[in-house]
Structure 1
């Protein structure tokens, strides 16, 4: 542990913030974490952790804690809209031969493991709280919180998502979330025996995917063009999701009529932001969606946040000034995250254009090759 970084504030208790807290605590750094939600709930259905993410979760020492609650799988299968196989892309066991290539897990299960681990390691968590303001000097950051309390930290990490308050404090209105024109729909089903891998169904007329989450559970996702970012009545969501996948046959077509409970449909408009300059000013830094929120088309949004957390913990314990260490963090993270952000958005744009020439298979292979490289 470097003597000048002994106490860090993490703002945001999502995947990125929790992984940052865990990584920093494992380096012996004291961590306070504040989360604006008073009830520490999670949004969404499930999450895909591809090979690079499995590798970093193993390095964080948390993978063992949720493998039993997850579904381990090796391959990614891409199919046409009739359910015919186009390609099967083998996974890589980047975390080591004893670990799977990929993992599907419910967001609730993942949150339980990450939050428990962070607290067990000594992270001081306060809920229903955010940063009111901060003032920094060369040696630290004085933070005032929304409950009237205050504290001084050696570093502040903004992991507070696409609508990051910390980003606004650093950059003003320069970077605001942008609606891409698409939304994603998700719904849980009992796992079908054939879904022992990530199955992606693609074509100019629509798309869907099936992701195993446990022996008994899987979820379906689909992205759709939603011009004008409409707000739908909650009771409509099941019918609307069925409509969005109406041109897909095979297993997706068989499952379509089982989408009946609108309260279980998770609908989320896609909003993106990318901070196209260093993600820090002085001793205040952004990570995860606060710096580079993207779309789910490459399945790497949370993965990039997890990688941010691990790289930050390693660089903070290196040599040089705080600025030099944060610059090294940026060198290791900026281009990689930019690639994921730009190509995820591009995939969505090709979908909205119904571009039959879009080489999704080629893009998937290129992404897997890039993310397999060490960070």
Structure 2
């Protein structure tokens, strides 16, 4: 018995797909609306640490992710010198749960496809090219008006529609999304034979230069620079800029750089951060994922936090007799302190890099890892 029978999920990102699947698998009728004409994801890679893998196991796609992705249990740090000197290799021990690796790398569109297929398998009903125009709720439910003029009443609405959440705006919630002054180039490229795991170069010409395997023969590489308006660069300029930035790094970068020829495999975004204070709900409408929290990828925990939101929400809805203040108190108690630790730590590390501060990086990483290693 769940606290809800019919739920609307808004947004087909990782958080929305996971929430929809977990609820539908528990017997809830779930509709999912997505503003885009199909499920899409930025065409680069993603690092999924053990806490994210636990959620993917609950969703039912972990085995496929382990096959399609690449183990990244270890993390190697290299110096930005001409020899690309290996400084340290971390994470040789398995800190995951059971047989889980510490982390895997994966192609983002591949993960989105697996999550979508699983949602369809358990009966989630998709409505693409559709948005929510109006939410009107009372103590017992939410009346939703969609962009096609149709209306329906739901027991709960889950807003998982990203950083610029339209659901958040409909609820009248103000939240400042702050730029951090860094921009990141992400490139999907062939994987050199001498890249056994994820590797990072801190400092040098860029703040960070690194790459993470996403399969046996592919990886995604990334270069972090000062934030700039890159919106008007031509395809040829994209390739030239990334190759020039990569030219300042050696080791496997020499081979990766030569393989960067396709502008469609290059993407640029800027680092941002926000964290919505409790409550994340307004009555029977709740926000999760990037709609409530976003941070720079310095700890590769953004997707994990969004996936955890979905899992915790689904767990509580299955266990609770009603959607009431007690349920929301439990939800916020389990999510907000954990997310706060990740957001604060991620922003702190980015700020140290921007300001060239020699902070206690191992200590900061240890504190964040100690929190994320605990059950969500």
The verdict on a shared fold, with TM-score over 0.5 as the criterion, is yes
In the other structure, the counterpart of 1:210 is: 211
Matches within 5 A, 1:65-80: 65-80=64-79
In 1, Cα distance between equivalents of 2:74 and 2:280? 34
In 1, Cα distance between equivalents of 2:262 and 2:150? 44
In 2, Cα distance between equivalents of 1:144 and 1:127? 15
In 2, Cα distance between equivalents of 1:119 and 1:95? 28
Output one character per residue of 1:117-143: Cα deviation in whole Å (capped at 9) or x when no partner: 001100011000010011010000000
Residue 286 of structure 1: how far off its partner (Å):
0.5
In 1, Cα distance between equivalents of 2:360 and 2:162? 30
Contact preservation (8 Å) 1:49, 1:103:
yes
In the other structure, the counterpart of 2:22 is: 23
Of 326, 329, 333, the residue aligned with 1:327 is 329
Cα RMSD for the two superposed structures: 1.8
In the other structure, the counterpart of 1:47 is: 46
User: TM-score normalised to the size of structure 2?
Assistant: 0.93
- Match status 1:353 vs 2:352: no
In 2, Cα distance between equivalents of 1:85 and 1:66? 29
Residue 9 of structure 1: how far off its partner (Å):
0.5
In 2, Cα distance between equivalents of 1:92 and 1:232? 44
User: Secondary structure of the residue that 1:250 maps to in structure 2?
Assistant: coil
Counting matched residue pairs gives 370
Matches within 5 A, 1:171-186: 171-172=172-173, 174-186=174-186
Residue 331 of structure 1: how far off its partner (Å):
0.6
In the other structure, the counterpart of 1:148 is: 149
In the other structure, the counterpart of 1:296 is: 297
Unaligned runs of 5+ in 1: none
In the other structure, the counterpart of 1:340 is: 342
User: Secondary structure of the residue that 1:48 maps to in structure 2?
Assistant: strand
Residue 270 of structure 1: how far off its partner (Å):
2.1
Contact preservation (8 Å) 1:202, 1:208:
yes
51-60 vs 241-250, which deviates more?
A: 241-250
User: Secondary structure of the residue that 2:344 maps to in structure 1?
Assistant: helix
230-239 vs 156-165, which deviates more?
A: 230-239
User: TM-score normalised to the size of structure 1?
Assistant: 0.93
Residue 56 of structure 1: how far off its partner (Å):
2.0
Residue 17 of structure 1: how far off its partner (Å):
0.4
In 1, Cα distance between equivalents of 2:180 and 2:244? 20
Structure 1 residues 92, 212: closer, same or farther in 2, change over 3 A?
Answer: same
Output one character per residue of 1:264-312: Cα deviation in whole Å (capped at 9) or x when no partner: 2111122322112311110000000000011111101111010111100
239-248 vs 294-303, which deviates more?
A: 239-248
User: Secondary structure of the residue that 1:176 maps to in structure 2?
Assistant: coil
In the other structure, the counterpart of 2:226 is: 225
Contact preservation (8 Å) 2:43, 2:188:
no
Contact preservation (8 Å) 1:81, 1:250:
no
Contact preservation (8 Å) 1:135, 1:142:
yes
Residue 345 of structure 1: how far off its partner (Å):
1.7
318-327 vs 49-58, which deviates more?
A: 318-327
Matches within 5 A, 1:126-275: 126-172=127-173, 174-203=174-203, 205-206=205-206, 207-227=208-228, 229-235=229-235, 236-275=237-276
